[in-house]
Structure 1
Amino acid sequence: MTTGRDILRVTLRRNAGAISAGTLLLGLYQAAETAFPIALGLIAEHTLRERELGSLALSIGALAVIITTVSLSWRFGMRILQQASVTEAHRWRVRVAACGLQPVAGDTDLKSGEILTIATEDADQGADIIEVVPLLISSMVAVLVAAVALGLADVRLGLLVIVGTVAILSILSVLSRRIGTSTREQQARVARAGAKVADLITGLRPLHGFGGNHAGFLSYRRVSTEARTQAVTVATANGVYAGIAQGLNAVLATVVTLSAGWLAFEGRITIGELVMAVGLAQFIMEPLKLFSEMPKYVMTARASADRMALVLSAPPVMAEGRGRPSPGDDLEVEGIVFGGLRELKFRVPAGEFVAVAAYQPGAAADLAAVLAVRVPPEAYAGVVRVGGRELSDLPVAAVRERLLVNPYDGEIFAGTLRSNLDPGGTGRPVAEAVEASMLTDVVALHPEGLDHGVRDRGANLSGGQRQRLSLARALAADADVLVLHDPTTAVDAVTEQLIARNVALLRRHRTTLVLTSSPALLDAADRVLVLDGGAITAEGTHRDLLATDETYRLAVSR
């Protein structure tokens, strides 16, 4: 089971080389930064004592070396770490996206908009742990070097830095835990707001149609207000944290400076040591600030990793089988009991075009879910076979190579018409699919043709255009066994007639199952199965059933 802690552990282990190199270079950077005030103190000491130009030139040369080391070590150290962080974020984005596209047995209670946020923002923030660890260690190096240098001047100054640092971190660790909890809640609420926007965009036209756009707006405003309130809470906590950290660091620097001044006044340290102490007191404020901020970033990375784990730990819809489909393209459903289905049994021989007229829409949706492998085999009774092999014996990828289920609410992606029809650029029969689905008018309407831009979720297309694009994509896949669920509910009657005829011609001699109440598709089918009460109650051609079955005639006539 993947957890947020596991994700961070894998991230650190996989990038151990980059983290080691980055830590070494950033540690060198902090050590050189610390050496700068120490060098100034020594220069002041030797200049006052010896007053020689040679010593002064040597000291200036030493300062030049220190400055060069500071510049180069920071530049190359951060370059290594940022490259590793970006690469690691890409790996987690791909993995989260892959898991989000796979059917899972458990309900993660995450919508597509939330998964998008997790695959982008949370993946980036989780990978930030690669930079956090070296920065944390290098800051500790700076504080320790400063403490040792001050301790050599006077033990009390070194102890003051160490004790003060421990006290500051103890106080800030309490605050960082609260920030981590608030950040997790903020990320969840922002993701929910993003999902709500995606849902509203998808249903914008229907909302306008029945006057529900105002209610949809109010729903989004409520979710967005919750996200804003939580964001203000997190920002307030971060502000308090930063203010307290800055104040504590300033207090420590002031105490060290005053203590060094008092010791110099009493003659216990030299003027050069005083210059060094004052310089180090000012310098350690920056690594202390960085050191004190790291727990906050660790908590943020942990919160993001926990959210990624919600997607990555979701169990697959079924254990991966090891078999391969047999050569046959027949589809067999035997004794299925699930949802609204009761001992459902039928067979579609290879090459036949069969339509299922479901009197209860929920039963059709349950059948589509089972065939699409969105339901684990243990959740229903009975078996589904493709080419004589049970779906539970086959890997999901192998099932999808042979059996394609196109849902009635198929997603449309940002890109072009062509990229939606042939996402992988595999040279599918796009032209035939466009013509069969009557998408030709959409292609001809725009000068770019198939390269016409499509917005996210097809926001610039009508409901009928989106449905025809989804149907064309399914037809272009040229699957051995194709299942279509209500593919023409958003098109007019004339277009529906043409689509039904075209689909029957294009899928001739290919196994096709259509779940529909469309008279045009029912008439185009070789055979119609009547699904009522969860079982097949009648069978025949559309016209025979119209003539002999009054219930059927009333159910499908328009």
Structure 2
Amino acid sequence: MNTPDTQRPRPGTAILRTALRRNVGAMVWGTVLMGLYQAGETAFPIALGLIVEHALQDRSPIALALSVGALAVIITTVSLSWRFGMRVLQKANTTEAHRWRVRVASCALQPVARDVDLKSGEVLTVATEDADQTADIIEVVPLLVSSLAAVVVTAVALSLADLRLGLLVVAGTVAILSVLTVMSRRIGAGTREQQARVARAGAKVADLIIGLRPLHGFGGNHAAFGSYRRVSTDAKRQAITVARVNGVYAGTALALNAVLAAAVSLTAGWLAFQRQITIGELVMAVGLAQFIMEPLKMFSEMPKYVMMARASADRMALVLSAPPVAAPGTGRPAPGGGLQVDGVRHGALRTLKFDVAPGEFVAVAAYQPRAAADLAAVLALNVPPGAYEGAVRLGGQPLAELSVEAVRGHLLVNPYDGEIFAGTLRSNIDPSGTSRTVAEAVEASLLTDVVALHPEGLEYAVRDRGANLSGGQRQRLSLARALAADTGILVLHDPTTAVDAVTEQLIARRVAALRRGRTTLVITSSPALLDAADRVLVLDDGVVTAEDTHRNLLATDEDYCLAVAR
């Protein structure tokens, strides 16, 4: 169920404000430390000017020693403040990026369907690159503030020597930022488009990996790779465009900063030549002119990073602020209840109605695969209750009145194409590590041969998507995971289509024995599973047309016999 925080609209600006608000402490400390760093950098040329102005003129060893000591203190302050300031900011940055990755992953895994026009590969990009770039705002603000403070201190120090020097720094800084702010907007727009194209390329790769085997089967892999090449080429071209704009931005910033530093140095030289400032003030002005290039460079780069963070935050908002298709209830089903499907109309289903009593093993023989898929989707909450007519009840309570977590804990629908994850056999069977029926589930699904085949047993390493397992082994592994969950109501959709008839017969008997006393619904055309069921519901043209045991139906219903007999 969604939390109130994820239900509220969350545009990119709100995401950035949230990131800033919960890192205020780290940002304050980072700003103070980075401010000390900039103050030390600013103090160094000022100290040199004072040394030239006083210590060298007096030619006093004590004054010279004190000057060297003061420079050592300044250098130490610069070193330590930078070290600890960046440590504080980068820790906060990394932590905040982790928070947003978890939040995006949590929203992407919400069981309630979401109206998000993003594929899984795109969501992965949002949860990684966009989360990192959004969290960069935590470093950007303190660096921006400290750089601004350095520019202000420099302008004040130069104004004390000559007001014209200070005004030159202020006017030059305003002009530089005005030019770069305009350029940064183009960077932000280009970055958003680049991120979208890279995400689309990632989604295309994910689709190719999922469908690689069937693509090879009918020779469509070359066309699919060509499609990916076109998407990737678009992403590459946009990345080159953004890189070109970034290069122009960086070059312009460097050139403008150099022009300002040169202008300050030349103006100070001219003033010294006119004897309007002293030699010490000239040394200070030239030193500050060289120093000011670093904070100006940092200061001028900040608008670009702000735009990039905003673009990433806007993409995260697509996931985080997307409203659920249906608002789930808050109730919980009564334990030990049955399953009722009452007049459901959806897709190929036409006023479908049937009951599964508590502890009963019922099979549904669907003549049309579409109807079987639609029934599984409705029971799995892939279709929200408001999107179909009729009602599905657990223990007499409609699904619309129950929380999604409560339904998931009471009713498990295992799809025919259950996902296999990288890990071990055990972690795939018992992802939470809490099941007490792993051994029984392995036995019932006849996964015992796979376990016995490898010395590691259940710790045998499984590759991503079960690439090192056969189709039948993957299906049995998925079945074992469903059985190990030991839920009150279990729905299996074609759990044995990839195994041979002998194995299927053994699995049917063992599943029926393991689930005895537990409510089970199997959507299948397997004669073995149909025979193991207490009764069979014939689903034809979206409605139940017959109901009896498998053997009675074989003896009395010719259409049923033709549909399921092998």
TM-score (norm 2): 0.95
Contact 1:205 1:463 in 2 (8 A): no
CA separation of 1:494/1:239 partners in 2, compared to 1, >3 Å: closer, same or farther? Answer: farther
Structure 1 unpaired stretches of 5+: none
Q: Which of 358, 377, 382 is matched with 1:374 structurally?
A: 382
Superimposed CA distance per residue, residues 386-417 of structure 1 (whole angstroms, 9 cap, x where no aligned partner): 11211111111111110011122222222211
Instruction: Describe the SS at the equivalent of 1:257.
Output: helix
Q: Is 1:77 equivalent to 2:109 in the alignment?
A: no
Alignment of 1:87-106 (within 5 A): 87-106=95-114
Superimposed CA distance per residue, residues 196-222 of structure 1 (whole angstroms, 9 cap, x where no aligned partner): 222222222222222222222222222
Which residue identity is paired with 1:150?
L
Q: Is 1:438 equivalent to 2:446 in the alignment?
A: yes
Q: Post-superposition, which runs of at least 4 consecutive aligned residues in structure 1 deviate over 4 A? A: none
The alignment of Structure 1 onto Structure 2 pairs a total of residues equal to: 558
Which residue identity is paired with 1:464?
G
Partner of 1:223 in structure 2?
Answer: 231
Contact 2:112 2:404 in 1 (8 A): no
Partner of 2:283 in structure 1?
Answer: 275
Structure 2: distance between partners of 1:346 and 1:182: 56
Partner of 1:450 in structure 2?
Answer: 458
Partner of 1:174 in structure 2?
Answer: 182
Superimposed CA distance per residue, residues 2-29 of structure 1 (whole angstroms, 9 cap, x where no aligned partner): 1111111111111111111111111111
Structure 1: distance between partners of 2:231 and 2:479: 34
Q: Which of 53, 56, 70 is matched with 2:61 structurally?
A: 53
Contact 1:104 1:314 in 2 (8 A): no
Which residue identity is paired with 1:165?
T
Contact 1:104 1:315 in 2 (8 A): no
Structure 1: distance between partners of 2:245 and 2:436: 54
Q: Is 1:330 equivalent to 2:323 in the alignment?
A: no
Alignment of 1:97-496 (within 5 A): 97-496=105-504
Which residue identity is paired with 1:125?
Q
Instruction: Point out the more displaced range, 196-205 or 161-170.
Output: 196-205
Structure 1: distance between partners of 2:370 and 2:104: 31
Structure 1: distance between partners of 2:562 and 2:413: 28
Structure 2: distance between partners of 1:475 and 1:203: 27
Q: C-alpha displacement at 1:336, in angstroms?
A: 1.0
Contact 1:317 1:374 in 2 (8 A): no
Which residue identity is paired with 1:282?
Q
Structure 2: distance between partners of 1:492 and 1:223: 41
Superimposed CA distance per residue, residues 142-173 of structure 1 (whole angstroms, 9 cap, x where no aligned partner): 11111111111111111111111111111111
Contact 2:115 2:324 in 1 (8 A): no
Which residue identity is paired with 2:554?
L
Structure 2: distance between partners of 1:536 and 1:32: 82
Instruction: Point out the more displaced range, 382-391 or 548-557.
Output: 548-557
CA separation of 1:184/1:494 partners in 2, compared to 1, >3 Å: closer, same or farther? Answer: farther
Structure 2: distance between partners of 1:384 and 1:186: 45
Q: Is 1:546 equivalent to 2:559 in the alignment?
A: no
Instruction: Describe the SS at the equivalent of 1:2.
Output: coil
CA separation of 1:62/1:180 partners in 2, compared to 1, >3 Å: closer, same or farther? Answer: same
Structure 1: distance between partners of 2:219 and 2:505: 30
CA separation of 1:463/1:222 partners in 2, compared to 1, >3 Å: closer, same or farther? Answer: farther
Superimposed CA distance per residue, residues 346-397 of structure 1 (whole angstroms, 9 cap, x where no aligned partner): 1111111111122222222222122112222221111111112111111111
Q: C-alpha displacement at 1:138, in angstroms?
A: 0.8
Q: C-alpha displacement at 1:499, in angstroms?
A: 2.0
Which residue identity is paired with 1:221?
R
Structure 1: distance between partners of 2:439 and 2:121: 32
Structure 2: distance between partners of 1:428 and 1:113: 35
Structure 2: distance between partners of 1:414 and 1:108: 27
Contact 1:105 1:314 in 2 (8 A): no
Contact 2:536 2:547 in 1 (8 A): yes
- Report the RMSD for the aligned CA atoms in angstroms: 1.6
Which residue identity is paired with 1:255?
A
Contact 1:317 1:373 in 2 (8 A): no
Identity across aligned pairs (percent)? 78
Q: C-alpha displacement at 1:243, in angstroms?
A: 1.2
Which residue identity is paired with 1:45?
E
CA separation of 1:540/1:436 partners in 2, compared to 1, >3 Å: closer, same or farther? Answer: same
Contact 2:536 2:550 in 1 (8 A): yes
Structure 2: distance between partners of 1:388 and 1:255: 83
Partner of 2:48 in structure 1?
Answer: 40
Structure 2: distance between partners of 1:65 and 1:38: 14
Superimposed CA distance per residue, residues 277-329 of structure 1 (whole angstroms, 9 cap, x where no aligned partner): 11111111111111111111112211221222122122235324232211333
CA separation of 1:445/1:303 partners in 2, compared to 1, >3 Å: closer, same or farther? Answer: farther
Structure 2: distance between partners of 1:303 and 1:433: 48
Q: C-alpha displacement at 1:270, in angstroms?
A: 0.9
CA separation of 1:436/1:219 partners in 2, compared to 1, >3 Å: closer, same or farther? Answer: farther
CA separation of 1:7/1:122 partners in 2, compared to 1, >3 Å: closer, same or farther? Answer: same
Contact 1:328 1:388 in 2 (8 A): no
Partner of 1:506 in structure 2?
Answer: 514
Q: C-alpha displacement at 1:557, in angstroms?
A: 3.0
Structure 2: distance between partners of 1:177 and 1:104: 36
Structure 1: distance between partners of 2:10 and 2:522: 39
CA separation of 1:217/1:442 partners in 2, compared to 1, >3 Å: closer, same or farther? Answer: farther
Which residue identity is paired with 1:308?
M
Q: C-alpha displacement at 1:459, in angstroms?
A: 2.6
Which residue identity is paired with 2:360?
E
Q: Is 1:23 equivalent to 2:28 in the alignment?
A: no
Instruction: Point out the more displaced range, 2-11 or 188-197.
Output: 188-197
TM-score (norm 1): 0.97
Contact 1:317 1:375 in 2 (8 A): no
Contact 1:358 1:532 in 2 (8 A): yes
Contact 2:350 2:541 in 1 (8 A): yes
Q: C-alpha displacement at 1:455, in angstroms?
A: 2.3
Instruction: Point out the more displaced range, 270-279 or 444-453.
Output: 444-453
Instruction: Point out the more displaced range, 106-115 or 304-313.
Output: 106-115
